[in-house]
Chains A and B, each alone.
Chain A
Amino acid sequence: DAGVIQSPRHEVTEMGQEVTLRCKPISGHNSLFWYRQTMMRGLELLIYFNNNVPIDDSGMPEDRFSAKMPNASFSTLKIQPSEPRDSAVYFCASSIEAIYGYTFGSGTRLTVV
């Protein structure tokens, strides 16, 4: 099993540009989570999907952020337009049942200059 796959690993972009982060969850996992990690705020849950349906997006910071899960094997997190304060590591995680914990991807380090 390849685990949760995120791409790209690193992204540097200019303020105002659109950024798309990608995630492939583990096959068979029915829940997918997007987290943001910063030194100041730690790990923050942005949104999570269950069976491809967004269940809780209360953590999405503002309308510039959007997430989709068109099928069970793919999700995207889009930031448009990006701002320097969006610089962080973004993690995707998946699980089959919450009681078993989450499997995290290696993250995407986003730098907005």
Chain B
Amino acid sequence: AQSVTQPDIHITVSEGASLELRCNYSYGATPYLFWYVQSPGQGLQLLLKYFSGDTLVQGIKGFEAEFKRSQSSFNLRKPSVHWSDAAEYFCAVGEVANYGQNFVFGPGTRLSVLP
């Protein structure tokens, strides 16, 4: 069965510092990969996605993620964090097939930003 792990439950970084959030998955093929962000009291917002092509993908708000097949990872990065980036981040993995679609969300990583 497919699964998604986000090893870090909570990360704290200083404003202006770089950020990397980890996502690992267990899947038999090349899945569709997504990162979402959730601010308090809000729904999830799509940051970026990957399903083929260039393994380094750019998203909104200055985020990027790199798909590494050999490591089954899809880590999210940002070179300089802003205080407004404090939120919960979810990695999602799934497939689309004849039977429909099946996506699994990771447990999330909560990001705190120090001034």
Contact = CB atoms under 8 A, between A and B. Distances in A.
Interface residues of B, number: 22
B45 A104 contact: yes
Given A91-B44, A99-B51, A56 B100 contact: yes
B86 to A, nearest CB: 18
Say which size band chain A's interface belongs to: 20 to 34
B32 interface: yes
A88 to B, nearest CB: 14
> Interface SS of chain A: helix, strand, loop or mixed?
strand
Interface string B22-66: 000000000010101000011111100101000000000000000
B101 A31 contact: yes
B46 A102 contact: yes
Interface of A: 4, 31, 42-43, 45, 48, 50, 55-56, 91, 93, 98-107
